[in-house]
Structure 1
Amino acid sequence: MTQALTYTPDADPARAHGPYPGTFIVFEGGDGSGKTTQIKLLAEALTERGYSVLVTREPGGTDIGEKLRALVLEHGNGSIDPHTEALIFAASRAAHAHQKIQPALEAGTIVLCDRYIDSSAAYQGAGRGLGLETITDLSRWATGNLLPDITVLLDVSLAESRARAGARGHADRMEAADDTFHSALHSAFRSLAQAAPERYALINGAQPIEQVHKQVLDAALAVLS
């Protein structure tokens, strides 16, 4: 049982909007929360407004990151204990942050990332019982404390999340975990957002797609203004 569900990441004034000219927007949520759809719609809307946009994902985002993604998510790679799993994700995130995200932000690009530090906090910190604070600190060290300007959390019920994920068919190692695991990470996401509301846009992902998109776009434009 994790004891860190009330962990509050320390405020970082340097990330109020910076220190780079670009803007870093992260999307979080359980499996089937609609992140992929909403990232695509936001990227299109921002591109139409003349912004330079980079869409990326975790785990992955770089050549080494994609190899690590396959190693930890695909079935058939043998047993992966929670500590090893957490370190693989942290290694993938380190490459992603230093090789792809930071250079894009330095160039003034808007980076839209599907999952980031909070996913590890939820999945390995809460779901695997390693502790939110421990896993968050690991990721912050791995990334050189590269934090998002805003995190969009698409919140759907556990039942809705599981139904959507199941409708996609093939489940990876994380998606195939039991309901106890997914309930823990669902609670962790909400706990993180509620602990630091100024850093999150908490959006009901069960609403119609266009309604969710409007709220996501409003949140993005607010941080870009």
Structure 2
Amino acid sequence: MKKGIFITFEGPDGSGKTTVSKGVYDKLIANGIDAIYTREPGGIEIAEKIRDIILDPKHTTMDAKTEALLYAASRRQHLVEKVKPALEQGKVVICDRFVDSSLAYQGCGRHLGIDEIWSINNFAIEGFMPVKTIYLDLSAEDGLKRIENREFKDRLDQETIQFHHDVQEGYKQIVERFKERMLIVDASKDVETVVDTAYNRVLEIIHDQG
């Protein structure tokens, strides 16, 4: 059976990860490529319930390490219940966020340390990482402008500009650390252009893996 391909999408809040990753998935399906779309935290029932706990705006007293551990727990369940089975069936798995988000948000945004958060997550995923990651590059200021008018802002959306700057700095470190895996896409352009660019990158990945 053909081996599946695991591709993740990353970027700061407002970079359009969900819109772009779903747009890429839709194009894959339209062109006859066997793919699934999923997200983190979430993607399956248990992980979605953990997501609700993490992102609930009322949970203002949540400890940073508790937050990090909940993300790792959600990720573990999502990986074994949804991602790996789809890959075993030979599917292309498009995932909105994965480990890199925890490294940026909890490692740098919460100042817990990238290496410390990597250790927690490596235990959860047992070293299992995506083949490639599409990183949607956008400044923290532009990202916050985009989410300013969202009807619902989750707990992380409501964080300070300093938090988002720290997350942005975290992503810069991660892109450099894992540069062989990272494919950077300029997310400041219009949605159609970003989706098309990301889709072409994904097609290249599929071709290279074939």
- Aligned residue in 1 for 2:8: 26
SS at match of 1:198: coil
**What is the letter of the counterpart of residue 8 of structure 2?**
V
TM-score w.r.t. the length of structure 1 is 0.88
Query: Which of 30, 33, 46 does residue 51 from structure 1 map onto?
Result: 33
Taking the aligned partners of 2:119 and 2:40, their CA distance within structure 1 comes to: 17
**What is the letter of the counterpart of residue 194 of structure 1?**
E
Q: Is the 8 A contact 2:59 2:155 kept in 1?
A: no
My pick for the range that moved more, 147-156 or 213-222, is 213-222
SS at match of 2:148: helix
Change (3 A) 1:78 1:197: closer
Alpha-carbon offset, residue 77 of structure 1: 3.5
Taking the aligned partners of 1:101 and 1:89, their CA distance within structure 2 comes to: 16
TM-score w.r.t. the length of structure 2 is 0.94
- Aligned residue in 2 for 1:11: none
- Aligned residue in 2 for 1:35: 17
- Aligned residue in 2 for 1:76: 58
- Aligned residue in 2 for 1:217: 199
Residues 114-141 of structure 1: per-residue CA shift (max 9 Å, x gap): 1110000011000111101111221122
User: Percent identity of the aligned residues?
Assistant: 37
Alpha-carbon offset, residue 192 of structure 1: 1.1
Residues 4-37 of structure 1: per-residue CA shift (max 9 Å, x gap): xxxxxxxxxxxxxxxx811111011111101111
Taking the aligned partners of 2:55 and 2:181, their CA distance within structure 1 comes to: 29
Query: Which of 185, 201, 205 does residue 187 from structure 2 map onto?
Result: 205
Taking the aligned partners of 2:182 and 2:60, their CA distance within structure 1 comes to: 36
Taking the aligned partners of 1:195 and 1:86, their CA distance within structure 2 comes to: 20
**What is the letter of the counterpart of residue 153 of structure 2?**
A
Q: Kindly tell me the number of residue pairs found equivalent between the two proteins.
A: 206
Taking the aligned partners of 2:168 and 2:38, their CA distance within structure 1 comes to: 23
**What is the letter of the counterpart of residue 81 of structure 1?**
D
Taking the aligned partners of 1:77 and 1:179, their CA distance within structure 2 comes to: 19
SS at match of 1:59: coil
Alpha-carbon offset, residue 78 of structure 1: 5.5
For residues 1-225 of structure 1, the aligned pairs below 5 Å read 21-77=3-59, 79-225=61-207
